[in-house]
A and B are shown apart, each in its own frame.
Chain A
Amino acid sequence: MNDSIELTYEVSGDDFTRAGEASSDCKQKLKRLGVPPDVIRKVAIAMYEGEINMVIHANGGKIKVTISMDEITMELADRGPGIPDIEKALRPGYSTAPEDVRSLGFGAGMGLPNMKKYTDDIHITTELGVGTTVTMKVKL
């Protein structure tokens, strides 16, 4: 039988009114599945951060969530500018967000650090001018 479920989402760029739709839908489905509340919390927080990043920096992209019996994997792939220095980007408070985004209350430099903090595993592949893929895992 089916030991995993895959959810896929298109994230549109530059539309803050829709940012968070994917993580919200994913959260509802995890609740329906009876995934433990603390796991849902981690996934929801990490995925929302990632989704916002895709809107701010990468003009959107695709999110694939795979739910299996022992872990939840989130793969966030964009065709944005890429990350020049991953180590710096993972440092709390480091931000390259433009001023207009900061004025909306985003861009505090906690995106990637929070994604790391709330997941059990994070893997980033990036190529300048091509795009970034962030893969995060939360154990069940």
Chain B
Amino acid sequence: MAEEKFVNAVRLDKEKCMGCTNCIKRCPTGAIRVRNGKAKITKSYCIDCGECIRICEHHAKIATYDPISSMDDYEYKVALPAPALYGQYNNLEDTNILLTALKYMGFDDVYEVGAAAEIVSQMSREFVSTHRDKWPLISTACPSVTRLIRIRFPNLISHLLPLEAPVELAATLARRKALVMSGLPSEKIGIFFISPCPAKVSACRSPLGITKCDVDKVLAIKDVYPILLPLMKKAALNPDDLASAGRIGLGWGQSGGEAGGLLTDSYLAADGIENVIDVLEDLEDQKLTNLKFIELNACRGGCVGGVLTVENPYVARVKLKRLNRYLPVAVTHGIPVDAGYWTREIKYEPVFNLGSNLRESMQMMFKVELLEKQFPGTDCGSCGAPSCRALAEDIVRGVAKKTDCIYVLRKYIQRISGEMHDMSENPNAEYLDDDPEE
């Protein structure tokens, strides 16, 4: 089967979609149009940032992830809790309580993503210090950011840190351990990532930089959260000693945490997709110099701000901070691993190109410029495109028409109704055939 280049984890509930303009306006890549009264996502533009899910007040945008019942599909199940999960609970003072509760929930073993994160931090330190020519290296832990760079920032691809995200490394190591512990064949082992965001779903199904991700199913933090609450009360009485992640590992759950693990102050950390885009633009224009590392998270606050979380990201950060007070700096480190590096290159995908070659694109842009001048410039969104410019591009690409603009349509109706009036007064006059699309 041919590999799908663009996989998304956001879909539409058609029944709930009102065809309003909220999501088309909010999408940072201009991937959404309203057509026939329903929102439609252009797959190749979508980076799974979740902004449309956040803004849709009708809850018509749905994140794709796996149901809790998918645990029944495997004989031996391993939970991979994301650091963001730890920030959801009040007064959690011992991570072992949470990890033990995961076992009560039905998992045979737990492999903390934070533990793998500490290994990735260690690998990052080494890679950054030995690749001066690639400074500043850009974090690749947030799949939305990597996907954004792939379609919009060709000049920055060579700066991407070619390491697996902690969840990917965690899955590989967890599977190896599970094979030994269970003695079962690989297909009977289920590796479950408990995720703060849908972008990780796409990243697991269609990873970049590596050929296969060892995660089998992705569960949502918001689904797991209520199940764990009562189990944690029980676990608190006599928690197992399972913790293998320290402050550096769990720090990855929030913006600045990954950079903090590099033990350098020559970094920049930005969060929130619009801020991320601003930083990437500046980076591309070489406005940021003398930095070793750039950490970027599509969600405000970092992973704790993911759309599959329960707690307000800023409150979750405080909770993580409080929990971190009791943890050692790092627990899983100094371990040499033969995994974790990218095995294939990321290629620029010029999805926004107008034409198939420069000449064609120039002619199309010429038409776009002419068309744009005919629209009112109000960017009202009534046509289903986020701006007048976007409508002009859609028309030139052949996917929209001029009368989608209500201003153009109104003018046209005014003109033909005037002509009809004239015609009724003077039935013998000749009228030009007048197509508004010309």
Contact = CB atoms under 8 A, between A and B. Distances in A.
Contact of B353 (A32, A38, A44, A45): A32
Contacts of B365: 5, 29, 32-33
A3 B362 contact: yes
Contact of B155 (A5, A37, A67): A37
A32 B354 contact: yes
Contact of A44 (B285, B362, B363): B285
B286 A2 contact: no
Nearest to B350: A34
Contacts of A33: 353-354, 358, 361-362, 365
A1 B154 CA distance: 30
B contact patch SS: helix
Given A32-B352, A34-B350, A69-B358, A41 B363 contact: no
A48 B285 CA distance: 8
Contacts, number: 62
A81 interface: no
A67 B369 CA distance: 14
B287 A34 contact: no
Interface residues of B, number: 24
Contacts of A5: 362, 365-366, 369
Interface of B: 152, 154-155, 281, 284-287, 348, 350, 352-355, 357-359, 361-363, 365-366, 369, 393
19 contacts: A2-B362, A2-B366, A5-B365, A5-B366, A23-B285, A29-B365, A31-B353, A32-B354, A32-B365, A33-B353, A33-B358, A33-B361, A34-B355, A35-B358, A41-B155, A45-B285, A48-B287, A67-B362, A69-B359
Interface of A: 1-5, 20, 23-24, 27, 29, 31-35, 37-38, 40-41, 44-45, 48, 67, 69, 140
Given A5-B365, A33-B361, A37-B154, 6 more contacts: A32-B354, A32-B361, A34-B354, A38-B155, A44-B285, A69-B362
